[in-house]
């Protein structure tokens, strides 16, 4: 909502300066977003007199003149038709910035004659709309004065009006609130009641009283819409960003912004028959002023004539019945519509207008006759014409809203004592009618306020006027020793992030959306729906991501484009498998791309491989306190992984993680040419440790006897997994074998085709007494037998 | 026969001239080995008369110990020389760089989450988290925003599409939550007062420009009991901004505002100094909007199953990304979500940077590498 200072002062009698007004507005909840003061753009512009005005030797409309600034006389070429000897206007010397063009003025040469400055129009200075000629100041104006001192400068204030304060969508509402805040007095509204001289030939029938409780109509004949809108009105409309169209349209716009009172003017000669206010029929056709076509429904309210809907009440007029320069007779509508009805229709058919904006919030139900009278006055003043008697359908006597406030609640709800008298004073100033009923104050809302429904609303009014800053802050009482803030499930997410960062990965945060084109290969078997967004912000952010990988891969692609080919990045966040709330799961997902480091003298750099991803996955599970001692790894990772270089870490039937190289055909979709390894850890699938108060660690049992380490090599079929060999060795004796390590893997020469050799170190730990040679031999035999039994492995000769 | 004194002098001279351990050992063998010179001389003692034997034995023993001592000293010297020579050969250039290691980073949003949790934890708050996809009841209706409420339309809501075979109807659709405020309702549904929670999380609005991204992060706060007042709201938020910006004092002001789910409602500004090149929090004459807050609306308490005649409290919402930008001077919101490794390296936090009020909220993870 924009207004100008002079417009505000039309309603508010105040001596407060602009700065005080602006500060007060913000303090009482009418947040000033911007103040535009044209004076700030007028530095350097001065008053000056035109002298020696002669025709330009080479033009039939340009003049050459001497501009007298009082200090110097300069030759200027001027194209304005109204330039004349002795005219006093505003002069822009060379070097000033012309606000309208935002350009610094230079010495010009126009058709061979040099010009050292410019005489300006209102429009060029952004102080008005007039561009037909240069500004003409009164003859007694001194020359050499700063322009801002002599021009009628009207600063523009832009206020953010919250949805509950619809009355402040009119300048008068803002003025009223300022007056209540003690910044002057509200002037009374001087509206002339023009008596009608004839009966309106167009009658009105309201068939839906619920949606349209009041309809005030008036016929005005013989108007002249070709006349000029008065300069003061044009200037105000222009200042707040509205275009002047014609007097009839300008008047309705002006009253909309002046009193927050929407109106509509029909070209009466285009109306066929009488006006009926009724609900629309299903799919009833309507072409609005914005030239868009709508097929309405039975919940929309139409202002209709014999030809159908001519106006969508409170929202927008129809194209066919609007006013034009030829309009001779008009029908003026000032009606009240139910906000819910307006909001629904506006939302359903996506029609935005200043009228809807006000109508769906709150329009003063007692302003229909007043609005009609005001419009009648302005229209006849500008366009002439004769007015009919006023027709009123329905009435303006809707019961006002009532709420109660207990003064004691100021202490117990706000934390600040406010005396009953003070509360009554504040509410009265705001227009409420108050009376004391026991321990409560009854407050009857003024008709312009539609937002006061309960005690808290009244408390807000009191607090707003006293000033929120007057309330003494009070720290929260915290008499109890605080508990742990994060639940174990929340804390482990934090731990996982720090663990992955410690492992050299950068944490990123990417959209929860992704591109459905890129996401389709990432749908997993548990995906119940493809979760598409009905109104995506762009085509590549149209699906709630089924995996974090597509966004991370896009990140990798962008980094490579910046010249960073080696990277390890991860994100912890939701992936979505269904369209309902909670059909999402929290995943720690990471990718590693390129080399472990840039090339280096120590030659430690190597390409990332599947074991980096596996280590990340296991470290993540460990950080989340999941089970990692005997990870159950199956070879059924989703299809977007490399079929031979990926795995699934499971706990029973639950998937804890996937890891592996990504499938080259998936990478190709992202334009990635290098190998990428990835892991996805499903944090929600990792069981939380049972809550226990026993924090003591497992007792450390140390053996007095030295362990014996023996190396064994087995030849197995190449498709036998290393895990199977290690498990067979470990399980050969659960008591005495404490550790089995794989220290060599060999395939190739000296081995039969299709075989590989796995060399393991086995740690035997005696408990009772030192092993004899015989004991060790027996244990080694157990290992050899068990490995052979479970994997077919033969001891390598 | 050569005098014992002469022999001693000769051998000691040989010892002192031995150039390496091998030469020294040869001298030891030739003097004191089984057939060494001194050994041989000892053997002659048996043939001597008693007096002569005593005299000679004494001299020979002195000789023997003098030679042994000289051998030992020389050996130490030679061993030391050999070690020094070996070490000299092992010299390497220790100014060579270390083997490459990468220190990872924690994203600013995660960092702010930890800081905010640490501060509110101190005030007895717990953390509640909820889903990104919400029903319209939790996201709007229960928050005193019925279907045609103007505020509902100001939120640029993303809607979830229906099944392919069902035409889309906006009012039936699930939404991607436009704020974390729905967590007020979810909390009240699951918990009896007294309630003190913060609910951080991802939020979504269809808006994308220099200062808006379609996804951002908020943290909701909710306090409900029988005695919490607007003055407590002010005190709580003042304590929070002081702790968060790690300042002893910070100018704040509150402006009346409007949110459907609070009444009275306010926006909180903090004092700052704005220049073309920097933004300094806590000083200067400018104000910076930082959060929205208010007393929980009775309709919201009712929707959450709590009696508004008995209970009251406050709620607030603040942008985590915005807090990160203000505290750590990160200029552009959009860059938070671009996965640019250069950005992450610069604006991210060290892996060991943990936030607490005992160890400090920020920059306690050591030097960034």
B366 within domain boundaries? no
pLDDT greater than 60 at residue A405: yes
Whole-angstrom Cα distance, residue A64 to residue A55? 6
Give the separation between CA B44 and CA B52, rounded to whole angstroms: 11
For residue B191, the distance in angstroms to the closest alpha carbon of chain A comes to 15
Number of domains in chain B: 2
* Tokens linked to A191: 């509206």
Asked if the Cβ–Cβ distance from B135 to A581 is below 8 Å, we say yes
| Closest-approach residue (CA) in chain A for B132 | A581
pLDDT of residue B1: 53
Q: Is A327 helix (H, G, I), strand (E, B) or coil?
A: coil
Yes or no, beta carbons of B100 and A460 under 8 Å apart = no
For the record, the structure tokens of B314 come out as: 């406050």
pLDDT for res A797 = 72
Q: What is the C-alpha separation between A769 and A107, in angstroms, rounded? A: 108
Q: How far is A189 from chain B (nearest CA, A)?
A: 28
CA distance B84 to chain A (A): 27
Write down which residue in B24, B58, B89 finishes a domain: B89
Contacting residues of B for A509, CB less than 8 Å apart: 107, 109-110, 336-337
**Residue-averaged pLDDT of chain B:** 92
Of the pLDDT bands very low, low, confident and very high (cuts 50, 70, 90), residue B323 is very high
CA B299/CA A389 separation, integer angstroms: 46
A623 neighbourhood in chain B, CB within 8 Å = none
Q: Which of residues 62-81 of B touch A (CB under 8 A)?
A: none
Q: Are residues B77 and B112 in the same domain?
A: no
Q: B366 and chain A: CB distance < 8 Å anywhere?
A: no
Residue A679's contacts (CB-CB under 8 Å, 6 or more residues apart) are A588, A589, A590, A613, A614, A616, A617, A620, A657, A658, A659
Residue B359 located in a structural domain? no
pLDDT in tens, A28-67: 999 999 999 888 888 889 999 999 999 988 888 899 999 9
B129 interaction partners in chain A (CB closer than 8 Å) = 490
**Nearest residue on chain B to A558, alpha-carbon basis:** B340
> pLDDT tens digits, residue range A289-345?
989 999 999 999 999 999 999 999 899 999 888 888 899 999 999 999 999 999 999
d(CA A620, CA A637): 18
* Closest Cβ–Cβ partner in B118, B235, B260 for A474: B235
- Neighbour tally for B65: CB within 10 Å: 10
Nearest chain B residue (CA) to A164: B258
Q: Which residues of A581-618 are buried (b: 16+ CB within 10 A; e: fewer)?
A: bebbebbbbbbbbbbbbeeeeeeeeeebebebbbebbb
Determine the average pLDDT of the residues in A453-469: 96
**Best of A501, A546, A598 to disrupt the B interface by mutation (most B CBs within 10 Å)?**
A501
Whether residue B38 sits in one domain with residue B159:
no
Over residues B273-292, the mean pLDDT reads: 88
Q: Output the CA–CA distances (angstroms, integers) from residue B78 to A370, B32, B70, in the order listed.
A: 119, 20, 12
User: How far B75 CA sits from the closest chain A CA (Å)?
Assistant: 38
Cβ–Cβ below 8 Å for A509 and B337 = yes
Inside any domain, residue B357: no
Q: Which residue of chain A has the CA closest to B151?
A: A163
Measured between CB atoms, which of A344, A533, A567 is closest to B148? A344
Q: Spell out which residues of chain A touch residue B104, defining contact as CB-CB under 8 Å.
A: 500-507, 568
Between residues 127 and 146 of chain B, which touch chain A (CB distance below 8 Å)? 127, 129, 131-135, 138
Q: Are residues B123 and B226 in the same domain?
A: yes
- How far apart CA A195 and CA A578 sit, in angstroms, is 67
pLDDT tens by residue, A552-606: 999 999 999 999 999 999 999 999 999 999 999 999 999 999 999 988 999 999 9
Is there a domain that residue B100 lies in?
Answer: no
C-alpha torsion sign, points A619, A623, A628, A631? negative
The reply to whether B358 falls in a domain is no
Question: What is the pLDDT, as a whole number, of residue B276?
Answer: 82
Using an 8 Å Cβ cutoff, are B110 and B146 in contact?
A: no
Position B300 in a domain:
yes
Tell me the C-alpha distance between A459 and A657, whole Å. Answer: 54
Among candidates A460, A576, A584 on the partner chain, residue whose Cβ is nearest the Cβ of B264: A460
Report residue A305 as tokens. 């004539």
Across residues A415-440, what is the average pLDDT? Answer: 96
Could you give the CA distance from residue A212 to residue A218 in angstroms, rounded to a whole number? 17
Q: Which residues of A touch B173 (CB under 8 A)?
A: 534
Among residues B58, B89, B120, the one where a domain terminates is B89
Contact B263 A454 (CB under 8 A): yes
- Residues A8, B293: Cα–Cα separation, whole Å: 30
Distance separating alpha carbons of residues A558 and A552, to the nearest angstrom? 10
With CB atoms and an 8 Å threshold, state whether A509 touches B336. Answer: yes
Q: What was the ipTM of the complex prediction?
A: 0.91
- Higher pLDDT pick, A553 / A126: A553
Instruction: For an interface test with A, give the residue of B104, B129, B146, B368 to mutate (most A CBs within 10 A).
Output: B104
Burial environment of residue A362 by CB neighbours within 10 A (0 to 12, 13 to 18, 19 or more)? buried
Chain-chain contact of B263 with A569 (C-beta, under 8 angstroms):
no
Grouping H, G, I as helix, E, B as strand and the rest as coil, residue B75 is helix
**Helices H / strands E in chain A, number of each:** 20, 42
Q: pLDDT of A478-515, one tens digit each?
A: 777 777 889 999 999 999 999 999 999 999 999 999 99
Distance from CA of A602 to the nearest CA of B (A): 6
Domains and CATH numbers, chain A: 2-37+155-186 (3.30.56.10), 39-150 (2.40.50.140), 204-394 (3.50.40.10), 402-464 (3.30.56.10), 488-685 (3.30.930.10), 708-795 (3.30.70.380)
Cross-chain Cβ contact A476/B348 below 8 Å: no
Residues of chain A neighbouring B125 (CB-CB closer than 8 A):
485
- Find residue A64's DSSP bridge partners: A54, A77
Examine residue B140 and state whether it is found in any structural domain, yes or no.
yes
Measured between CB atoms, does B251 come within 8 Å of chain A?
Answer: no
Give the pLDDT confidence of A712-735 residue by residue, as tens digits: 999 999 999 999 999 999 999 999
Q: Does B343 touch chain A (CB under 8 A)?
A: no
For chain A, the average pLDDT equals: 93
Residue A697 confidence (pLDDT): 86
Q: Tell me: do B151 and B294 sit in the same domain.
A: yes
**pLDDT of A524:** 86
Is the CA virtual torsion A129, A131, A135, A136 positive or negative?
negative
* Angle, alpha carbons B52-B55-B56 (nearest 5°): 85
**Contact flag A582-B103 (C-beta cutoff 8 Å):** no
- Contact at CB, B133 and A576, closer than 8 angstroms: yes
- pLDDT band at A618; cut points 50, 70, 90: very high
Tell me how long chain B is. 369
User: Residue A533: its chain B contacts at CB < 8 A?
Assistant: 158-161, 176
Query: Confidence band (pLDDT; 50, 70, 90) for A427?
Result: very high
Which chain B positions have a beta carbon within 8 Å of A459's beta carbon? 263-264
Contact in structure between B219 and B320 (CB atoms under 8 Å) = yes
Q: Please indicate, yes or no, if residue B97 is contained in any of the structural domains.
A: no
Contact A510 B339 (CB under 8 A): yes
CA distance A174 to A258: 10
**A385 pLDDT more than 80:** yes
Task: Give the residue-averaged pLDDT of A241-252.
Answer: 94
Task: Provide the token pair at B268.
Answer: 């909180």
Same domain? For B194 and B141 the reply is yes
- For residue range B24-64, list pLDDT tens digits in order: 999 999 998 999 888 988 888 888 888 888 888 898 899 99
Q: What is the DSSP letter of B16?
A: H
Question: Do residues B127 and B244 both lie within one domain?
Answer: yes
Question: Residue A628 pLDDT more than 60?
Answer: yes
Separation CA B342–CA A569 (nearest Å): 12
Residues 6+ apart with CB under 8 A from B302: B308
Checking if the pLDDT of A782 tops 70, the result is: yes
By CA distance, what is A338's nearest residue in B?
B148
- Domain span at B294: 108-347
- Which one of A47-56, A136-145, B176-185 scores highest in mean pLDDT? B176-185
Closest approach of A571 to chain B, Cα-based (Å): 9
**Has residue B176 got a pLDDT over 60?**
yes
Question: Do β-strands A275-279 and A204-206 pair in parallel, antiparallel, or remain unpaired?
Answer: parallel
Last residue of a domain, one of B61, B89, B117: B89
First to last CA, chain A: 91
Residues B81 and B113 in one domain: no
d(CA B141, CA B144): 5
The residue with greater pLDDT, A694 or A140, is A140
Q: Please indicate if any CB of chain A lies within 8 Å of the CB of B305.
A: no
CA angle A175, A177, A181 (to 5 degrees): 115
Q: Are residues B236 and B329 in the same domain?
A: yes
Task: Indicate the residue of B127, B133, B297 with minimum beta-carbon distance to A544.
Answer: B133
Statement to judge: residues B168 and B259 lie in one domain? yes
- pLDDT band at A26; cut points 50, 70, 90: very high
CB contact under 8 A, B105 and A501: yes
The answer to whether residues B84 and B200 belong to one domain is no
The pLDDT value given to residue B2: 67
CATH number of the domain bearing residue B157: 3.30.930.10
In a shared domain, residues B145 and B208: yes
Q: Is the dihedral of CA A16, A21, A25, A27 positive or negative?
A: negative
Report whether pLDDT(A694) > 80: no
Show residues of chain B in contact with A565, CB under 8 Å.
none
Q: How high is the pLDDT of residue A562?
A: 95
Question: Distance (Å, rounded) from C-alpha B181 to C-alpha B175?
Answer: 14
Both B117 and B15 in a single domain? no
Phi, psi of A738 (to 5 degrees): -95, -20
So what's the pLDDT on residue A177?
97
Please list every residue in chain A whose beta carbon sits closer than 8 Å to the beta carbon of residue B161: 532-534, 579
- Residue that has been written with the tokens 């007029």 in this structure: A317
């Amino acid at each position: 909502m924009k207004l100008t200072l002079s417009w505000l002062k039309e309603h508010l009698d105040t001596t407060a300066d602009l700065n005080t007004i602006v500060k007060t507005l913000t303090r009482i909840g009418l947040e000033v977003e911007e103040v535009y003061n044209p004076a700030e753009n007028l530095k350097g512009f001065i008053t000056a007199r035109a002298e020696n005005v002669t025709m330009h030797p080479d033009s039939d409309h340009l003049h050459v003149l001497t501009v007298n600034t009082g200090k110097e006389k300069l030759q200027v070429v001027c194209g304005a038709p109204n330039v004349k000897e002795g005219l006093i206007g505003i002069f822009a010397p060379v070097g000033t910035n012309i606000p309208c063009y935002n350009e610094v003025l230079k010495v010009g040469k126009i058709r061979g004659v040099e010009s050292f400055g410019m005489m300006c129009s209102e429009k060029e200075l952004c102080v008005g709309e007039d561009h037909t000629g240069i500004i003409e100041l009164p003859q007694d104006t001194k020359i050499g004065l700063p322009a801002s001192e002599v021009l009628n400068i009207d600063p523009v204030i832009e206020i953010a009006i919250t949805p509950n304060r619809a009355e402040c969508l009119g300048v008068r509402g803002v003025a009223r609130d300022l007056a209540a805040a003690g910044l002057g007095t509200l002037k009374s509204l001087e509206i002339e009641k023009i008596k009608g001289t004839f009966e309106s030939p167009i009658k009105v029938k309201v068939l839906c009283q619920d949606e349209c409780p009041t309809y005030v109509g008036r016929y005005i004949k013989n108007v002249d819409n070709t006349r000029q809108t008065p300069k003061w009105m044009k200037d105000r409309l222009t200042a707040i960003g509205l275009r002047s169209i014609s007097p009839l349209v300008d008047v309705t716009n002006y009253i909309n912004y002046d009193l927050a009172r929407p109106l509509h003017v029909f070209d009466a000669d285009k109306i066929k028959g009488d006006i009926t206010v009724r609900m629309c029929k299903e799919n009833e056709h309507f072409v609005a002023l914005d030239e868009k076509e709508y097929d309405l429904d039975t919940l929309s309210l139409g202002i209709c004539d014999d030809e159908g809907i001519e106006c969508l009440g409170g929202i927008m007029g129809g194209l066919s019945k609007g006013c034009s320069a030829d309009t001779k007779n008009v029908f003026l509508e000032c009606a009240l519509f139910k906000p819910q009805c307006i909001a629904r229709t506006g939302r359903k058919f996506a029609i935005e207008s200043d009228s809807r904006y006000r109508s769906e919030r709150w329009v003063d139900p007692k302003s229909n006759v007043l609005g009609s009278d005001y419009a009648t006055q302005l229209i006849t003043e500008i366009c002439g014409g004769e007015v009919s008697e006023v027709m009123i359908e329905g009435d303006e006597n809707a019961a006002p809203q009532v709420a109660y406030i207990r003064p004691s609640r100021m202490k117990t709800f706000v934390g600040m004592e406010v005396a009953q008298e003070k509360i009554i004073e504040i509410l009265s100033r705001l227009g409420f009618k108050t009376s004391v009923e026991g321990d409560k104050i009854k407050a009857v809302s003024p008709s312009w306020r539609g937002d006061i429904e309960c005690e808290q609303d009244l408390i807000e009014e009191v607090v707003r006027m006293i000033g929120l800053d007057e309330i003494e802050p009070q720290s929260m009482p915290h008499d109890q020793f605080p508990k742990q803030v994060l639940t174990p499930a929340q804390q482990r997410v934090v731990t996982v992030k720090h663990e992955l960062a410690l492992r050299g990965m950068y944490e990123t945060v990417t959209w929860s959306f992704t591109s459905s084109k890129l996401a389709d290969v990432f749908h997993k078997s548990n995906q119940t729906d493809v979760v598409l967004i009905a109104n995506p912000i762009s085509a590549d952010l149209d699906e709630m991501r089924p995996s974090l990988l597509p966004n991370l891969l896009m990140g990798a692609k962008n980094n490579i484009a910046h010249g960073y080919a080696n990277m390890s990045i991860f994100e912890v966040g939701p992936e979505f498998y269904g369209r309902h709330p909670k059909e999402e799961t929290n995943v720690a997902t990471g990718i590693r791309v390129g080399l472990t480091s840039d090339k280096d003298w120590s030659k430690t750099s190597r390409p990332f491989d599947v074991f980096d991803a596996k280590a990340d996955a296991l470290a993540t599970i460990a950080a989340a306190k999941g089970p990692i001692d005997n990870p159950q790894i199956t070879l059924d990772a989703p299809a977007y992984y490399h079929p031979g270089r990926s795995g699934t870490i499971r706990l029973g039937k639950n998937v804890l993680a996937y890891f592996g190289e990504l499938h080259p055909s998936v990478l190709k979709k992202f334009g990635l040419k290098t190998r990428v390894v990835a892991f996805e850890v499903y944090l929600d699938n990792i069981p939380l440790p049972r809550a226990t108060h026993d924090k003591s660690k497992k007792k450390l049992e140390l053996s007095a006897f030295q362990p014996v380490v023996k190396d064994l090599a087995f030849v197995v079929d190449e498709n036998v997994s290393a895990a199977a060999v290690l498990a067979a060795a470990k399980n050969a004796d659960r008591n005495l074998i404490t550790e089995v390590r794989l220290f060599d893997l060999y395939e190739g020469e000296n081995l039969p085709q299709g075989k590989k050799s796995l060399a393991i170190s086995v740690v035997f730990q005696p408990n009772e007494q030192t092993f004899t040679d015989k004991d060790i031999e027996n244990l080694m035999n157990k290992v050899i037998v068990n490995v052979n039994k479970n994997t077919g492995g033969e001891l390598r000769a | 026969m050569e005098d014992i004194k002469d022999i001693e002098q000769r051998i000691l001279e040989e010892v002192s001239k031995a150039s390496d351990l091998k030469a020294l050992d040869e001298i030891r063998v030739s003097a004191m080995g089984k057939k060494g010179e001194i050994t041989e001389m000892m053997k002659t003692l048996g043939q001597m008369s008693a007096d002569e034997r005593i005299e000679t034995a004494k001299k020979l023993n002195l000789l023997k110990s003098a030679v042994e001592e000289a051998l030992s000293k020389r050996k130490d010297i030679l061993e030391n020389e050999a070690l020094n020579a070996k070490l000299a050969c092992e010299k390497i250039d220790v100014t060579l760089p270390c083997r490459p290691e990468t220190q990872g980073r924690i994203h600013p949003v995660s960092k702010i989450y930890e800081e905010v949790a640490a501060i509110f934890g101190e005030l007895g708050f717990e953390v509640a988290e909820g889903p990104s996809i919400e029903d319209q009841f939790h996201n709007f209706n229960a928050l005193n925003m019925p279907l045609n409420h103007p505020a509902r339309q100001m939120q640029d809501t993303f809607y979830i599409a229906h099944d392919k075979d069902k035409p889309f109807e906006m009012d039936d659709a699930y939404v991607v939550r436009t704020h974390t405020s729905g967590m007020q309702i979810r909390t009240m549904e699951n918990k009896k007062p007294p309630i003190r929670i913060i609910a951080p999380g991802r939020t979504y609005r269809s808006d994308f420009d220099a200062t808006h991204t379609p996804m951002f992060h908020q943290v909701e706060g909710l306090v409900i009991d029988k005695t919490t007042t607007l003055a407590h709201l002010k005190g709580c938020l003042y304590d929070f901004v002081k702790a968060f910006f790690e300042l002893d004092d910070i100018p704040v002001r509150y402006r009346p505002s409007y949110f459907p789910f609070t009444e009275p409602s306010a926006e909180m500004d903090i004092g700052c100094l704005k220049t073309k090149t920097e933004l300094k929090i806590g000083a200067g004459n400018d104000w910076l909007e930082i959060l929205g807050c208010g007393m929980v609306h009775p309709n919201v308490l009712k929707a959450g199953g709590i009696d508004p005649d008995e209970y009251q409290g406050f709620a607030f919402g603040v942008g985590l990304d915005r807090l990160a930008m203000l505290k750590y001077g990160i200029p552009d919101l959009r860059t938070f979500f671009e996965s640019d490794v250069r950005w992450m390296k610069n604006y991210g936090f060290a892996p060991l940077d943990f936030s607490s009020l005992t160890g400090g909220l920020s920059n306690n993870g050591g030097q960034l590498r």
